[in-house]
Amino acid sequence: MKIITFSAIKGGVGKTTLTFNFGEWLSAKGNNVLLIDSDHQCSLTQTYDIYTTEGTIASIFDKSGEAKIIELHKNLSLIPASMDLDSVNNELQTKPNKELLMYMWVADHYNKLKEFDYIIIDTHPDFSTITQNMIAISDFVFSPIEPSEYGFISKTTLELRLKQLKDEVINVQTRESFVTAELKFIGNRIKSNTKSSKEFVEKMMEDSKTIAMIPEREVVNKSTLDHEPLVEMEGETGLSKSNKEFLSKIDKVFEKMSK
């Protein structure tokens, strides 16, 4: 099983879009996938028209009940988010082992969770305790970066914060960190043929942690608006040549991200 958290300090960079589309892609390729929405904006949860207040991810933190794994379709399930996750996050601050509550929940539910080939997690644009909990259970953190000055600043900030978290959340006896996630960057929303986007791509490629580059395309925006994953559009008739090319490029990008 592989656990991947999409995280970025900056908002609107494509975390939810990529969680949704990469998760659906993995599932379409025959993997059993669990999506977890840990953002109190609940965007991913609402993509599936789920508006529940019970059995959400919040119950793992406030012990108000059991988190429910909702089956969305064959090979795809979701633990929904709660609008209360931000206040739950505030209440965690005085709790012991506050970054490892998700870690303990995974250990307690491993028998059920081991049915999944991938767990893909969406987060709020922050480095809150809830987000840290998601990172602590992950093998990888995938961070989408947009071509802007602020995009690069948030890239550096995330690297620093992750390092701090690794240094702090340790087993006091062995001094080994509980946080082992590898950070990977994904350039997203790259406009074609502008000088600044070329510079952005060059700068991103200098970093060995960069694993993918995704262009800015209306069809991506459409997929979130219509709640229709890109992998489902591939089979549609009447697609323009450029959309066909884009979808086959995305296929390769997701293939690489799944490795």
Q: Which residues are at the interface with ligand ATP (CB under 6 A)?
A: 11-17, 39, 41, 43, 125, 188-189, 214, 216-217, 220-221, 224
17 lies in the binding site for Mg ion (CB under 5 A) = no
Contact 132, 162 (CB under 8 A): no
Least CB distance from residue 174 to ligand ATP, whole Å? 36
What is the closest distance, in whole angstroms, from the C-beta atom of residue 198 to ligand ATP in the complex? 17
Query: Which of Mg ion, ligand ATP, none does residue 189 bind to, with CB < 5 to 8 Å depending on kind?
Result: ligand ATP
**Of ligand ATP, Mg ion, none, which one does residue 14 interact with (CB within 5 to 8 Å by kind)?**
ligand ATP
AA letter at 185: F
Contact 200, 147 (CB under 8 A): yes
**Any residues with CB less than 8 A from the CB of 171 and at least 6 apart, and which?**
177, 178
Residues of 191-207 as b/e, b for ≥16 C-beta within 10 angstroms? eeeeeebeebeeebeee
Q: Which is nearer to ligand ATP, 169 or 185 (CB)?
A: 185
C-alpha distance across the termini of the chain, in Å: 12
State which residue, 9 or 100, has the beta carbon closest to Mg ion.
9
221 binds, among Mg ion, ligand ATP, none (CB under 5 to 8 A by kind): ligand ATP
Is residue 192 within 8 A of residue 215, CB to CB? The reply is yes
Applying CB under 5 A, among 43, 45, 47, 154 the residue interacting with Mg ion is 43
Binding site for Mg ion (CB under 5 A): 15-16, 43
